[in-house]
Structure formats: structure tokens, C-alpha cells
């Protein structure tokens, strides 16, 4: 089985559509959390539901914070705006999603998927985080390969014997080149970037400016724990 890892879509429907147009037909799709916290929440959720059994869902911190506002990095203002565009059933669905899943992937064996780390959904790490800080975070994972997101940076690195893959962010990438970032797994690892035309947000009423952050700037802010969504 091949798997397309789509993380941190953040309600960015044009980015999601661009990625789905390039996902191979034979690939399962892991939706790695933070699905709707963005300008097109209801439309994005409907599109993801339309994937049916092909999709494997995980919960991200912003999905949880819709139910538990004030417990993480998400803006209360944006959470309120997003909730107004979803049903209570939608919010409950997102809150009740699993936090982790393990799937067999061609050429890679069992692969462990989580939003940030196995221990919680808020820990940021990047490609330059010291390895000694990461090894304890993944010590309880039996799979050799781990796929995560949350930091919105696409990278591959090692933590002891664990191969860590950040799939990148579909909807809010902190990268030098604009685009929707995702990863195809099996039998090799293929970091992907899909280009798309950003939507005009003024008409949506979305209460935040869409962030444009370089990779270096994101590393600095994440290391200093000063990043908020």
C-alpha cells in the first residue's frame, strides 16, 4: 500500500484541491490533523468527507482546540469564527478523531503517524532541533518510521534509530517557495510540492492575515516557542 500524507490543511481549500489532483489513485490518504482551522472550514471538511474510506483521519491540536479553546497555540478569535461555520456534530467529529495510527506501507513496513509527537499535539520540532531532545519523545514507538506534521516544515531526519518524516503543510507551509507541501510514502519517500492559486480571503471574512513565513524565520520562532497560529 502507498500512502499520501496530507497534514495541516488549515481550511485552505485551493491548496487541498491542488494536492488531491496529484495524489495517485491507488494511495490511501492519511489526514494528519489541523484540517479546518482556516478560511474555508465547512467546504474543506465536506471535501475531506468525500474521500470516504480512502481517508485515514488523525486529530491535530487545532481540531482539539475547537472543543477546548485556550489550551494551545490557536487564536480564540479564529477558533470562534471557524466554529460558527461548522455544526456541533462537525466539532465533535474532529475532537473524537484518533491521535495516532500505524499502517503498513510498501517498502517501509509499519509506519507510525501522529500530528506532532506521540506524547502530545503541541510539541514543535524542526530539522535542526538537537537529536537528544527528540529521542525520548519517540522512544515508545515500535515502528522504525514516524510521520508527523505540526511545525509546517517539510523535512526528514533521524532520532536515534527512528526515521522522522515531517510531511509538510498543505495549507500553511512555512517554506521559501510557496505551495502545498505533502509526502508520498511507498515504496520510497517522496516529498512533494503542489502549486495552487491562493484564494482571495477578504470576501470570506476570515479574521487573520494569511501568514507568509520563510523557513529560516519559522525555525527561529519555533525554537523560541513564540509561534502562534
pLDDT tens digits for range 178-203: 999 999 999 999 999 999 998 887 77
**In the predicted model, is pLDDT for residue 91 greater than 60?**
yes
Element (H, E) at 192: strand 189-194
CB burial readout 5-17, b (16+ within 10 A) else e: bbbbbbbbbebbe
Domain ranges in the chain?
2-223
Which residues contact residue 207 at a Cβ distance below 8 angstroms, ignoring those fewer than 6 apart? 75, 77, 78, 81
Mean pLDDT in residue range 33-42 = 97
Mean pLDDT in residue range 126-133 = 92
Q: To 10 degrees, the CA torsion angle through 121, 112, 139, 215? A: -60
Domain 2-223 has CATH 2.130.10.30: no
152-178 pLDDT per residue, tens:
999 999 999 999 999 999 999 999 999
Question: What's the first-to-final CA gap in the chain, in angstroms?
Answer: 34
Amino acid at each position: 500500500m502507498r500512502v499520501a500524507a496530507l497534514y495541516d490543511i488549515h481550511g485552505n481549500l485551493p491548496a487541498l484541491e491542488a494536492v488531491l489532483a496529484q495524489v495517485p489513485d491507488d494511495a490511501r490518504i492519511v489526514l494528519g490533523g489541523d484540517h479546518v482551522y482556516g478560511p474555508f472550514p465547512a467546504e474543506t471538511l465536506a471535501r475531506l468527507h468525500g474521500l470516504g474510506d480512502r481517508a485515514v483521519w488523525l486529530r491535530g491540536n487545532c481540531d482539539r482546540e475547537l472543543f477546548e479553546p485556550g489550551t494551545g497555540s490557536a487564536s480564540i478569535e479564529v477558533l470562534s469564527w471557524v466554529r460558527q461555520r461548522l455544526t456541533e456534530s462537525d466539532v465533535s467529529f474532529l475532537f473524537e478523531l484518533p491521535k495516532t495510527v500505524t499502517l503498513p506501507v510498501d517498502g517501509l513496513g509499519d509506519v507510525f503517524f501522529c500530528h506532532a509527537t506521540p506524547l502530545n499535539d503541541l510539541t514543535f520540532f524542526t530539522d535542526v532541533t538537537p537529536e537528544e531532545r527528540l529521542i525520548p519523545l519517540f522512544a515508545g514507538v515500535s515502528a522504525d518510521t514516524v510521520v508527523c506534521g505540526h511545525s509546517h516544515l517539510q523535512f526528514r531526519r533521524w532520532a536515534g534509530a527512528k526515521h522522522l518524516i515531517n510531511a509538510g503543510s498543505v495549507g500553511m507551509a512555512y517554506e521559501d517557495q510557496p505551495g502545498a507541501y505533502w509526502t508520498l510514502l511507498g515504496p520510497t519517500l517522496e516529498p512533494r510540492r503542489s502549486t495552487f492559486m491562493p484564494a482571495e480571503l477578504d470576501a470570506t471574512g476570515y479574521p487573520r492575515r494569511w501568514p507568509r513565513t520563510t523557513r529560516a524565520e519559522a525555525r527561529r520562532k519555533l525554537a523560541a516557542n513564540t509561534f502562534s497560529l
